[in-house]
């Protein structure tokens, strides 16, 4: 018990001494003796405290910097995603501009007056297996049995019209049948859809007419320009079944238009005054590429 009381007295004396030295140190000038005594006594304590608490302060400072770095990384990731979206959008815009440019060139070459529209749905309709829906209708001047094209050639014909939308039966539908004309030779025949996406058939009316693979076929045209205006590219001959002189000579065609990638189309609301003949065909008629 005595040792405990002695320890309490010693601690009390030390506390009183420290308090006295602090007060006196504050009152003395920086160069006074008490300041020196205070420094001698408290210096080691200050250095010890600094050694303990400085790393802790540095840790919290580094922690703040780390949080700032994490936030910056998140910002950069968000900016990167925006840039990726911008690249995709720009590519889509460039593709749309190219489609529109091709459509305008076809319209100018054939002297067709048309209303542009976008394909918004694809699927079978009553009596048709291959149809698409476009975002233009009667309020845009569309009517039944108008020719539908895109920048590559014939897409089909309008079979029903609403106020803001219309249904188009595609050229490849098995119910489709129209007059076709072989470029340059002017031979005519009946082009029919087969229901297959990349194949049409043309029954050649003159059994002796020469027909070669790689020959282009365009629309012969209907009376009054409905349902088909003249001169629109249909496809390219890939094969001829039957020999010259046979009554059933069939030319197999590959359509110019890839129906699986339809987007921007044009509905011809007014036929040309003069048959454009082969003017709408490109100068060098390429065989439409096969799907990959």
Question: What crossing angle do the helices spanning 33-110 and 2-27 adopt, rounded to 10°?
Answer: 70
Question: Residue 25 has what pLDDT?
Answer: 52
Q: pLDDT by residue (tens digit) across 41-99?
A: 545 545 554 554 455 555 556 556 666 666 766 777 777 777 666 565 566 677 778 88
What's the whole-model pTM score?
0.68
Question: Residue 246 has what pLDDT?
Answer: 66
Whether 33 has a pLDDT exceeding 70, the answer reads no
Which sequence spans correspond to the domains of the chain?
1-110, 114-270
Q: pLDDT by residue (tens digit) across 238-280?
A: 999 876 666 678 999 999 999 999 999 999 999 999 999 899 9
Question: Residue 161 has what pLDDT?
Answer: 97
Average pLDDT, integer, range 205-223: 90
Q: pLDDT by residue (tens digit) across 15-32?
A: 555 555 555 454 544 445
Whether 167 has a pLDDT exceeding 50, the answer reads yes
In SS3 terms, the chain reads as CHHHHHHHHHHHHHHHHHHHHHHHHHHCCCCCHHHHHHHHHHHHHHHHHHHHHHHHHHHHHHHHHHHHHHHHHHHHHHHHHHHHHHHHHHHHHHHHHHHHHHHHHHHHHHCCEEEEEEEEEECCECCECCEEEECCCHHHCCCCCCEEEECCEEEEEEEEECCCCEEEEECCCCCCEEEEEECCCCCEEEEEECCCCCCEEEEECCCCCCCCCCCEEEECCCHHHCCCCCCCEEEEEEEEECCCCCCCCEEEEEECCCHHHCCEEEEEEECCCCCCCCCCCCCCCCCCCCCC
Q: How many helices (H) and strands (E) does the chain have?
A: 2, 12
Quote the mean pLDDT of the chain.
Answer: 79
Average pLDDT, integer, range 143-159: 96
pLDDT confidence band for 124 (50 / 70 / 90): confident
Q: Report the CATH number of the 114-270 domain.
A: 2.40.10.340
Q: What is the end-to-end Cα distance of the chain in Å, rounded?
A: 99
Which of 128-132, 176-180, 243-247, 263-267 is least confident?
A: 243-247
Whether 164 has a pLDDT exceeding 60, the answer reads yes
Question: Residue 53 has what pLDDT?
Answer: 46
């Amino acid at each position: 018990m005595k040792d405990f009381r002695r320890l309490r007295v010693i601690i009390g004396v030390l506390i009183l001494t420290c308090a006295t030295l602090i007060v006196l140190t504050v009152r003395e000038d920086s160069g006074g003796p008490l300041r020196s005594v205070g420094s001698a006594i408290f210096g080691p304590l200050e250095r010890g405290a600094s050694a303990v608490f400085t790393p802790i302060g540095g840790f919290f400072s580094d922690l703040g910097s780390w949080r700032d770095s994490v936030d910056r990384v998140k910002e950069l990731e968000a900016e990167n995603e925006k840039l990726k979206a911008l690249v995709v959008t720009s590519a889509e815009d460039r593709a749309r501009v190219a489609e529109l440019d091709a459509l305008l060139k076809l319209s100018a070459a054939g002297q067709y007056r048309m209303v542009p529209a976008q394909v918004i749905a694809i699927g079978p309709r009553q009596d048709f297996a291959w149809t698409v829906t476009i975002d233009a209708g009667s309020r845009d001047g569309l009517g039944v049995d108008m020719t539908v094209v895109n920048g590559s050639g014939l897409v089909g014909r309008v079979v029903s019209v609403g106020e803001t939308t219309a249904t188009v039966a595609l050229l490849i539908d098995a119910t489709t049948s129209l007059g076709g004309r072989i470029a340059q030779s002017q031979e005519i025949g009946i082009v029919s859809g087969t229901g297959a996406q990349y194949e049409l058939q043309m029954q050649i009316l003159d059994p002796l007419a020469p027909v070669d693979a790689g020959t282009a076929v365009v629309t012969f045209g209907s009376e009054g320009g409905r349902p088909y205006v003249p001169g629109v590219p249909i496809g390219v001959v890939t094969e001829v079944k039957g020999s010259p002189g046979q009554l059933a000579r069939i030319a197999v065609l590959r359509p110019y238009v890839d129906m699986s990638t339809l987007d921007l189309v044009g509905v011809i609301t007014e036929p040309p005054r003069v048959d454009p003949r082969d003017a709408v065909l490109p100068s060098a008629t390429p065989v439409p590429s096969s799907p990959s």
